[in-house]
Structure 1
Amino acid sequence: MDRLIRSENHQHAEKPDTGRDDKIPAHWRLIRLRAILLPTSVNDCADYPLLSITRDAGVILRNVDNTEENHNFIPDDLSNYKLLKKGQFGMNKMKAWQGSYGVSEYTGIVSPAYYTFNLCGDIIPEFFHLAIRSDLYISYFASASDGVRVGQWDLSRTRMKEIPLLAPPRAEQLAIADFLRDRTSKIGQAIQIKERQIERLKERKQILIQQAVTLGLDPNAPMRDSGIEWIGETPAHWSIKRAKYLFREVDERSLDGQQELLSVSHLTGVTPRSEKNVTMFMSEDYTGSKTCQKDDLIFNIMWAWMGALGVSDRAGIVSSAYGIYRQLRPGTLNSQYLEMLLKTTAYIAHYNKVSTGLHSSRLRFYGHMFMAMEIGFPDREEQDAIVVYLDLESGKLNKAVDLLEQQITKLKEYKATLINSAVTGKIRVPGLVESPELKEREFA
């Protein structure tokens, strides 16, 4: 079995490492993909559902109403899209090096740039799907892809045809597929349980934060109606002020664009762009961009409705489209407390309500909207106490989440190893009825 290894000039050589000294069961055949994949090209099928081909799940139904999922452009005219039938093999050739391919469980349409194939020969589709998406074969597709830089590799159909496949007898393919379906289903259930536990822990953390920053730490504190519908009741001794009495909007610009570039998101708040894995356009010159200072409050005006805001822990430069606000009396509001408060559901709901735009993904939360907004808060001493309490309690929940995420990672690694071992013959799966002659055969 030939090994396809990427070198600097994208040449192929050597034998593949199947993980067992290159030994495979002697009764397994070695075939090339050209022998089992027959290209298809059926167009003018716009009435079928739209499919995506992903790295994590192979072929999936595309949710055309999900604005986050559909950051890639969907044309109005889908008449030239390709038909991919249930049981056929589909591939995003630009991302084949990541494993973006698989046997489809659906009949639908995919991008005309994708490869679509019929499976022919004595190959079970479910076995082929499991085998071809294993780590071993993903590395082969990476080796058969070319490009100037990572992320823009294009799969060569000619070289793809030469990728080798280990093909056991049909009965053994069925046994391997049955075995892996059972085992991976149980692993998947275990992962789902842990993911639900993580969700509950994160929800508990959010409730903990919400209660502490909006109601304080004393459950017996006298309460009063704030008079603000979206704030509701608040501790009687807390202050309620419009933002214009606490902040001023600043618009200071960089003279050379050399300061650290910062980004603002609903997930991470204000963070250095260098720490984020983003593919967004990067300017060659940031001269004239807005600058911020440590403890400045920054809103991503276009995504405030999702909670894209934060208090910066450093000086830097941000998008000219962001809103930057500085406390009139520095230290009035604890930076950590302020960020947590402004990210609570009640405040985010307010941004949604007052923002302007024709569509939810095009809403804008401008400076005058923030300045007119009421903010309820305790004195600085109580803010600091709330932050200390939340650091302690959130830390406990974060540790529990980290442990569960580590367990999920190990389960996924075990699943990948199990699949790779089964489809390359390194383990003999149960449920396979073998002849006496076959039982005596050694690995080649």
Structure 2
Amino acid sequence: MEATTTKTGFEKYPAYKDSGVEWLGEVPEHWEVVKLKRLFHEVKKRTNVELNCGSISFGKVIFKDDEKIPEATKKSYQVVLKGDFLVNPLNLNYDLISLRIALSEIDVVVSSGYIVLHNSVSLDKNYFKWLLHRFDVAYMKVLGSGVRQTLNFNDIGNSDIVLPLIAEQTAIANFLDRKIELIDQAIAQKEKQIELLKERRQVLINKAVTRGLDPDVPLKDSGVEWIGEIPEHWEVKRLKYITTKIGSGVTPSGGGTSYLDSGIPLLRSQNILFGKIDLEGVAFISDKTHNSMNNSKVYKGDVLLNITGGSIGRCHFVELDLPLNVNQHVCIVRPSEDVLTVFLNGLLASNVGQGQIWFNQQGGGREGLNFQSLKNFSLPLPPIAEQAKISLYIEDFSKRTYDAISSKQNEIEKLKEYKATLINSAVTGKIKVN
């Protein structure tokens, strides 16, 4: 039987058979379907305290350089050598993102919770790097479904995988190494372009809210070191004098148990991003709880600012006219009639606002910004008519920037989908490579 080609132009094998394994589907007729334990065995070598500690991070074995592990604990660790496969079989019930199998390129020691695999037969490890990647993504989480949270070697070893001829293994591995490197480079380039778009937007907003739109306007010293020169007809005012409210919410009584599947959105720090308020994954509270938290009700035109944790300083304004509330990690900054919402948000997101946030953090190990410090922020302020022009400029440029970013993100998603399809097609024999 002659070989055929796919719609994408890749050659197919002459004949296929049903593998009997859902995630593999049809495989080339001459390929074997075998138990993983026929090809790999578990290794439990202990220990070499001279080696650095390691772990898996998104499909790679990495050093944990800054982790201080007592020598007594380290002695219970197991050795992973370059060329071994490391499997993280833990917490499959809630961690659905991490890639859990990696071909190690370094010598490390890892905790006894990991599974270390060494090949029992001659094979191309680079091919199995890609096959086990597919096994991880397509099937490993199925093994850990239901009440099972952790796997052992028997679970993995009794799973079915394919075994091409070793020459085919090498051809597939070389093909994927080349192709995936090119795809990853394209993704990295687009991610860099997104960062450059964000940086350009930030530069232009910084300039707009501190110097205005007229490049020839006369300047004066603002009298504030971190603001520098401003247009001579502008003022510098403290935030408390251009707002009617600065305050946060509280965690509802009962904490997370009070959250509902629907109701009034309760905005938390993860919902407040630069450039938008993200309602994906938002918590909901009842009307009764919402009304009991009257002081932290949110209205259209409010600027919301994260005041604790790693996302401190992220801010955006409320564009939706619907009932909303916030918890204690989000501050409501409600503008007075002296400042427009978009302009105020631009000030807080600018280097002037973010610099003061950074300088005034309180709380030792956990970053935090108190209301008194926030109220005393010094900010440049043009007349309201000029604020309106600057706000329109910010909104127009931001829309064009975010449209461009969205386009790049869509391109990245398509590349990632193509990457996943290519890996699956190659390692399971849906396409024949040379």
Note the C-alpha offset of 1:236: 1.4
8 Å Cα contact 2:306-2:312 kept in structure 1: no
| Gap change, CA 1:191 and 1:305, over 3 Å in 2 | closer
Alignment partner of 1:155: what SS? coil
8 Å Cα contact 1:298-1:322 kept in structure 2: yes
Note the C-alpha offset of 1:207: 1.2
Note the C-alpha offset of 1:52: 3.2
Note the C-alpha offset of 1:202: 1.8
- In the superposition, the TM-score normalised over structure 2's length comes to 0.79
| Gap change, CA 1:197 and 1:299, over 3 Å in 2 | closer
Note the C-alpha offset of 1:31: 1.6
Corresponding residue number in structure 1 for 2:11: none
- Unaligned stretches of 5+ residues in structure 2: 1-16, 284-288
- Whole-angstrom CA distance in 1 between matches of 2:44 and 2:310: 44
| Gap change, CA 1:192 and 1:293, over 3 Å in 2 | closer
Corresponding residue number in structure 2 for 1:118: 118
AA in 1 matched with 2:325 = I
Corresponding residue number in structure 2 for 1:317: 325
Pick from 419, 424, 427 the counterpart of residue 423 of structure 1: 427
Note the C-alpha offset of 1:64: 4.2
- Whole-angstrom CA distance in 2 between matches of 1:368 and 1:15: 63
AA in 1 matched with 2:138 = S
| Aligned 1:291-440 pairs, distance under 5 A | 291-294=296-299, 295-303=301-309, 306-313=312-319, 315-327=323-335, 330-359=336-365, 362-430=366-434
Note the C-alpha offset of 1:380: 2.2
Note the C-alpha offset of 1:251: 6.6
8 Å Cα contact 2:172-2:427 kept in structure 1: yes
- Whole-angstrom CA distance in 2 between matches of 1:302 and 1:172: 54
Note the C-alpha offset of 1:218: 1.2
Alignment partner of 1:52: what SS? strand
- Whole-angstrom CA distance in 1 between matches of 2:43 and 2:250: 56
- Whole-angstrom CA distance in 1 between matches of 2:282 and 2:43: 36
In the alignment, is residue 235 of structure 1 matched against residue 208 of structure 2? no
Note the C-alpha offset of 1:423: 1.2
AA in 2 matched with 1:230 = W
Alignment partner of 2:34: what SS? strand
In the alignment, is residue 30 of structure 1 matched against residue 33 of structure 2? yes
Alignment RMSD, CA only? 3.2
| Gap change, CA 1:276 and 1:331, over 3 Å in 2 | farther
8 Å Cα contact 1:305-1:349 kept in structure 2: no
1:119-144 CA deviation, whole Å, 9 max, x = no partner?
2212222111111112x553221221
| Gap change, CA 1:64 and 1:293, over 3 Å in 2 | same
- Whole-angstrom CA distance in 1 between matches of 2:240 and 2:413: 47
8 Å Cα contact 1:263-1:270 kept in structure 2: no
- Whole-angstrom CA distance in 1 between matches of 2:311 and 2:368: 8
| Gap change, CA 1:112 and 1:381, over 3 Å in 2 | farther
8 Å Cα contact 2:53-2:109 kept in structure 1: yes
Note the C-alpha offset of 1:110: 3.0
In the alignment, is residue 275 of structure 1 matched against residue 280 of structure 2? yes
Most deviating of 176-185 and 45-54: 45-54
| Aligned 1:191-230 pairs, distance under 5 A | 191-230=187-226
Identity of aligned residues (%): 29
Alignment partner of 1:90: what SS? strand
Corresponding residue number in structure 2 for 1:437: none
8 Å Cα contact 2:240-2:375 kept in structure 1: yes
- Unaligned stretches of 5+ residues in structure 1: 4-13, 66-73, 279-284, 431-444
1:353-403 CA deviation, whole Å, 9 max, x = no partner?
2223434xx232211111222111212222222222122222222222222
| Gap change, CA 1:63 and 1:383, over 3 Å in 2 | farther
Q: How many residues align?
A: 393
Most deviating of 105-114 and 369-378: 105-114
Alignment partner of 2:28: what SS? coil
- Whole-angstrom CA distance in 1 between matches of 2:311 and 2:409: 29
Corresponding residue number in structure 2 for 1:143: 142
